[in-house]
A and B are shown apart, each in its own frame.
Chain A
Amino acid sequence: MTDNWTTKLSAYLDEELDSVDRGMLEAHLNECAECRADLEQLKGVKSWAREFDGKQPERDVWPAIAGQIRNSPRGVVDLGTAREARTRRRWYARPQALAAAIGLLVVGSGSWWIARATAPQDRIAAVIDVSAPPEGFSVAAAINAAQTFGPAIEDLERLLLSEQNALDTATVRVLREKLAIIDEAMAEAREALAQDPASGYLIDHYTGMMRKKLTVLRSVARRVQAET
């Protein structure tokens, strides 16, 4: 190993060498075990850094942060204010959040379902057997998806409502809050589609959400079916 080669290892690792230097270094690596070992170690450093998940502060600074943000304009959540604020936000502004929230609704209800209920076989079968919305989107597909999966979602919501006393209050509260957001988002999605039915962007998101619902519902239903 020489310093000349060693200094090129980092650049090689980051794929910053030109083809000539890369070729020369690779030829050297074939012959030099020491440089090969160095390179493996450098890869270890890089990998460790990428996966490092941080170190908790010794003192929890959240109380200080909470004290300050509670006095800020955004302040403590007020359901009325929050609802008003939410209506100003377009439902499609955060598709990832919306999709995740819908996943939360379905998976959350489904997890509870598995744990607390013995679902009727016909209901399970109905959820499993429904057809997926087609990959290519269309207004008809979006409407069809809503009509097909709406009742299944309602079933899960009713089950959650009837058995909520079995869950801890914190979980129920969080679920309720998130369900409220989802309801609003879904309503806005339908409104947006009604006003702009030709928007491929809107339809794509809407049918995409439906596909996500279907995937998770099927997964939950199969697990329930397997356990009952």
Chain B
Amino acid sequence: MESRLSKELELNPAEADAIDVEFAVNGDTLAFERLYRRHVAKVHSLARWLLGREDVDDVLQDVFIRVWHKLDTFRGNSAFSTWLHRLATNVILRWREKLGTDETRHSGSDFDMQTKPARGTDSGLKIDIETAVDGLPPRARQVFVLHEMEGYKHEEIASMLEISVGTSRSQLHHARMALRTHFVA
């Protein structure tokens, strides 16, 4: 039904979000499910990469239940996806404190990951890079995800991860350099 509505009624994702937020905030769980389905993939990746673990089901549940309860605080001043990701990042970082991180598996400057240039189809490239992001040292992966995917500034990342701004910059650079071999110049 979601794809049918979006396609036939020519709504772009932001418009579809805006309408579904309006319904969900009034208790419409079907509208909330549509929001969930539109955004769960990115929130899932965010959780997986910030926490460095595959099993993030509990975290996803926590994020979306909090979204449900806080939906009436969304004022529409930004895109719903922006608001959602800010909230999700905060929730995930709290889980990070609770669960601990996988940083003990790596040293801070451990960039010995194997990187192979991707070849073949776009989907193959996508999977290859995702795997490469999985393999980044935790700190570099976290900084990379927060900066490149979530749009946080180094100052914000430094505060979130309790690192220096300089460390945030250098970790981002290392992450990019480790991933760059997947892109043919």
Contact = CB atoms under 8 A, between A and B. Distances in A.
Interface of A: 6-7, 9-11, 13, 16, 36-42, 44-46, 48-50, 52-57, 59, 61-62, 64-66, 68-70, 72, 74-78, 81-82, 85-86, 89, 93-97, 100-101, 103-104, 107-108, 111, 170-171, 174, 177-178, 181
Contacts, number: 179
A59 B33 CA distance: 15
Contacts of A44: 180, 182-183, 185
Interface in B55-80: 56-57, 60-61, 64-65, 68-69, 75-76
A11 B169 contact: yes
State which size class the interface on B falls in: 35 or more
Nearest to A44: B183
Contact of A65 (B46, B65, B130): B65
Interface string B15-59: 110110111011111101100110011111110100000001100
B149 interface: yes
Interface of B is mostly: helix
Contacts of A53: 41-42
Closest A-B pairs by Cβ, 7 of them: A44-B183, A54-B41, A54-B42, A49-B148, A41-B180, A100-B15, A40-B185
Contact of B27 (A10, A52, A76, A97): A76
Given A55-B48, A101-B22, 6 more contacts: A40-B185, A49-B148, A54-B46, A57-B41, A100-B19, A181-B23
Nearest to B10: A107
A61 B57 contact: yes
Contacts of A39: 185
A95 B42 CA distance: 26
B32 A38 contact: no
Interface centre among B11, B27, B65, B126 (most CB of A within 10 A): B27
